[in-house]
Amino acid sequence: MRPQVVAHRGASHENAEHTLGAYIKALEQGAEALECDVRLTADGHLVCVHDRDLRRIASRKAAVSTMELADLSELDFAAWKNPWADLDDEAPDRDPDRDGVLTLRRLLETVAGYDRRVELAIETKHPTRYAGLVERKLVEMLTEFGWHEAGAPVRVMSFSYVALQRVRRLAPALRVVMLVEHARHWPVLRPLVDDDWIVGPGIVTLRKHPAFARRLADSGREIHVWTVNTEGDLRTCLDLGVEAVITDRPRFVLDLLDGGG
């Protein structure tokens, strides 16, 4: 069985990451799941933003956690991707609805209303000033959608073992993914991580440490790998039998898989 293709922050190779436009493009390209990072605003809204502050994506020094949703809604989260768009006659017109800050609720509604099953891989970012409130708000929202029980099209990911413990206490049936950035971290995490937890190593780590990659593959654990953007990296994942690949280029990866990998 081939791996699930997960759009990393949407179709973020072509579109500004974490915008509604990036996720709609990923769905149009056939992505089978969508990945997003979530942070909590000062007034308690979960928004899809990777970085702690807005310097890279909205040219602001402010931290997401210190801003209210109304203030974030006034910013353009897509202009950084194509800063010369105003001078390009062929560039598509800007759509504020698709280029602004994206709330997790809006993304969940988009997935819930889509005409085929699409899964979500939601990463909670840590450390944060709101600590466990992020996971509590997330599980509350998933419960509203009925996506907190077994069979839900959602999994929660984090580099924080404590954060995933919180998720499991709040929603024992939710799938969780223990993200692993460095091979040296795994011997510490392995005794702590339950057998039904998914493991999420980075492709760079798998390339640099093939022995670690093979031990992980032989462990019988489900493996989801980030961020897989080249044919060679996809081949590595196929050779290891991973269950999901998270990519900035969902159409590219789907074409490789549908063409025989």
pLDDT in tens, 97-148: 889 999 999 999 999 999 999 999 999 999 888 889 999 999 999 999 999 9
> 191-215, pLDDT tens digit by residue?
999 999 999 999 999 999 999 999 9
Strand-pair category, 175-180 with 154-158: parallel
Global pTM value: 0.94
What is the spatial distance between Cα 237 and Cα 243, in angstroms, rounded to a whole number? 9
Q: Does the pLDDT value for residue 4 go beyond 80?
A: yes
Per the annotation, the verdict on 45 as an active-site residue is no
The neighbouring-strand residues paired with 245 are 5, 225
The mean pLDDT value of the chain amounts to 94
**Among residues 8, 18, 148, 224, which one is catalytic?**
8
What is the spatial distance between Cα 226 and Cα 247, in angstroms, rounded to a whole number? 7
**Among residues 13, 18, 45, 50, which one is catalytic?**
50
State the residue for tokens 């699409």. Answer: 118
Q: Which two tokens stand for residue 241?
A: 């039998």
**What mean pLDDT is predicted for residues 218-229?**
97
Is pLDDT larger for residue 91 or for residue 20?
20
Write down all domains in the chain, each with its CATH number in brackets. Answer: 4-258 (3.20.20.190)
